[in-house]
Amino acid sequence: MKAWIQRMLGRALGNCRETTAHASDYVDGSLPPEVAGRIHRHLVICPGCKAYRAQMEASVRTLKELPKEEISADEKDRLLRQFRGRN
């Protein structure tokens, strides 16, 4: 019975794992409404996830304030080749 109740609450209120996994998408506002709603409801009741979201928002704000650096096409190609070589 307890597991059933936890599953039902998880569907309605979300959980810490889902909230942290989708934190950046939640901050960006790019989640489907049903997922965003669950995460929002979870944030209301979970101080740990609320603090995590605040940290994520601060990180995003800070990154957006950084000056954009232009890279050459050669450097971009080199980085892409290096990245693809890791997969």
Instruction: List the chain domain ranges.
Output: 2-86
Residues 16-65: tens digit of each pLDDT: 999 999 999 999 999 999 999 999 999 999 999 999 999 999 999 999 99
pLDDT of residue 43: 93
With beta carbons less than 8 A apart as the criterion, state whether 49 and 43 touch.
yes
Whole-model pTM? 0.65
- What pLDDT score was predicted for residue 69? 86
Measured CA to CA, the distance from residue 53 to residue 51 in angstroms comes to 5
Instruction: Return the C-alpha torsion angle 41, 42, 44, 46, nearest 10.
Output: 170
Residue that wins the pLDDT comparison between 27 and 11: 27
Question: Looking at residue 8, what is its pLDDT?
Answer: 60
Q: Which residue has the higher pLDDT, 64 or 3?
A: 64
